[in-house]
Amino acid sequence: MNFKASQIAEFLKGKVEGDPEAVVTDVSKIEEGKKNTLTFLANPKYSKYIYETKASVVIVNDDFVPEKELKVTLIRVPDAYQALAMLLDVYERSIPQKTGIEQPCFIDESATLGKDIYVGAFAYIGQNVKLGDNVKIYPQSYIGDNVEIKDNSIIYAGAKIYRSCKIGQNCIIHSGAVVGSDGFGFAPDENGEYKKIAQVGNVILEDNVEIGSNTTIDRATMGSTVIHKGAKLDNLIQIGHNVEVGSRTVMAAQTGIAGSTKIGEECMMGGQVGIAGHLNIPDRVKFGAQSGVPNSVKKEGTVLLGAPAIDATNFAKSAIIFKKLPEIYRKLNEIEKTLNDITKQ
């Protein structure tokens, strides 16, 4: 990576303020900026660092107004975060891509392999697997029988995809993730012992889905567990059997969705959100971190917090009262004592 500020601005369709000949050879965080690196400022909380960073070039929003003199070259764009994402994507694609089949690995003779694929050492490719063009299977991954993985998808080291699951185009499954393990289905018999219910469905990931490290997505009891187009799941998430996650929905780490719940499109979930089974969550609902959701949500676009989750405004008001409970309790005791004294008199 070796670019001038003017070249970067031209690519981003931005405007340079400062030295257009400033050269960058790497990227850095604004608070840890070094000479000849590129950084960005999108969150106002980090504004103070732009006056002291050692970075040479900083991407900022068009509406950024400096409060004092700057020593860095600016590139102004409509959205600094999005602009940086574009640059990082270009940088990543410039890194040489792995191709070919490493040994030792196992690929069943019935598997269908697309062009320019990569299969890392100790990977296992089962019967009747279909791999599209430019698919990358990193070392020690397991691809079960009858799995289909479409073009340009990446399965990182140690990920496991059980039988008959379907992975769309441009998907990313990170290390340790498990797609298609059995749903949590058991029925007690006459002796009170739990008998396993066979899970005969599968998991479908539509195009442009990303699954974080050590996330697990259970196969359906019957039918399919479905993660729709463009959804993004963080690390350490549990998706139960027959769950449906809508397009462009995002979930932060340690979220858990119980079986047969339907999540709408463009929903957002903070860390450690827990959603009970057989619920319906409409489009564009947002849950704050550690929200517990025991009931379906009726209204689209609702923002909920707490356990059980309630309207965010009401939760904020309740939190204020909660902090005052010890004082309220003390005053109630005083009032009760006073009333008792009056009654005795």
Q: % helix / strand / coil in the chain, to the nearest 5?
A: 20, 30, 50
Counting other chains too, the contacts that 86-91 makes at CB distance below 8 Å and 24 or more residues apart are 86/11, 86/12, 87/8, 87/11, 87/12, 87/27, 87/38, 88/27, 90/11, 91/1, 91/27
Identified catalytic residue from 174, 228, 241, 278: 241
In DSSP notation, 272-336 reads T-EE-SS-EE-TT-EE-TT-EE-S---STT-EEETTTTEEHHHHHHHHHHHHHHHHHHHHHHHHH
User: Do the beta carbons of residue 232 and residue 252 sit within 8 Å?
Assistant: no
State how far the Cα of 137 lies from the Cα of 120, in Å rounded to an integer: 6
Told to judge if 278 belongs to the known catalytic residues of this protein, a careful annotator would answer: no
Query: Catalytic site residues?
Result: 241
